[in-house]
Amino acid sequence: MLSGYKPVVVFMDKELVPIGVVTKPQGVRGVCKIWPYFSLEEVLDHFTRIWLTREGQVRDFTKQWYRQLGRIGHLKLEGFDTAEDVDAFRGWLLSVPRDDLPTLPGGQYYSFQIVGLMAVTEDGNEIGPVTAVLDMPAHDLYVVRTENGEAHIPAVEAYVRKIDLDAGRMVVRIISGLID
């Protein structure tokens, strides 16, 4: 979902959440190569306006089209006509309003919803907060800050027993070596 977490930006009373990052131009006609934090095809179908954010700067653009090709996305924004137009936004975050994101099917979550949850054992003992979500080939890993450093919890049902967004908790089944 995402290899780290960038803060939410507030712009004109909208909380913008990052959903990917502009990596470089694709060709010479102003197409942006995007590293998406999760599969964006269905999400971007809901948006005609896209915000690019970086260190407090916010620019909004009209989306012309988006295609996901494997893990990488290609995005065409209005006003981007050359590779240089894209280069000017290399490293900027592709962001959308949090409230306008489509609801995911049950049991699926956006990364920004997971970061900040308190990981607890099945007995209710606190392990630590989730600080990042790492996008790995087989499944995501939740990075949890513990007393002894970082633990990487596989984002699979065998380890993550319950996610309760309202309570701000993620219940984790601990096995030997998981957080030691």
Residue 49 lies in a domain: yes
Residue 135 domain flag: yes
157, 89: one domain: no
104 within some domain: no
Distance (Å) of CA 31 to CA 24, 34, 58, 141, 169: 9, 9, 19, 31, 40
The domain that holds 59 is classified in CATH as 2.40.30.60
Q: Which residue has the tokens 């916010």?
A: 58
| Residue 180 falls inside a structural domain | no
Same domain, 94 and 125: no
Which residues are within 8 A (CB) of 6 and not within 5 positions of it... i.e. 6 or more apart?
A: 18, 93
Q: What is the DSSP letter of 104?
A: P
Q: Looking up tokens 């996610």, which residue turns up?
A: 163
Please give the model's pTM, rounded to 2 decimal places. Answer: 0.68
Residues 116 and 77 both lie in one domain: no
Q: Is the pLDDT of residue 6 over 70?
A: no
CATH no. for residue 122?
A: 2.30.30.240
The mean-pLDDT minimum among 46-50, 91-95, 101-105, 167-171 falls in 101-105
Determine the structural domain holding residue 18 and report its residue range: 9-99
Q: Which of 99, 130, 146 is a domain's end point?
A: 99
Domain count, the chain: 2
Tokens 């913008």 locate to: 16
Q: What percent of the chain has pLDDT over 70?
A: 90
More confident residue, 169 or 1: 169
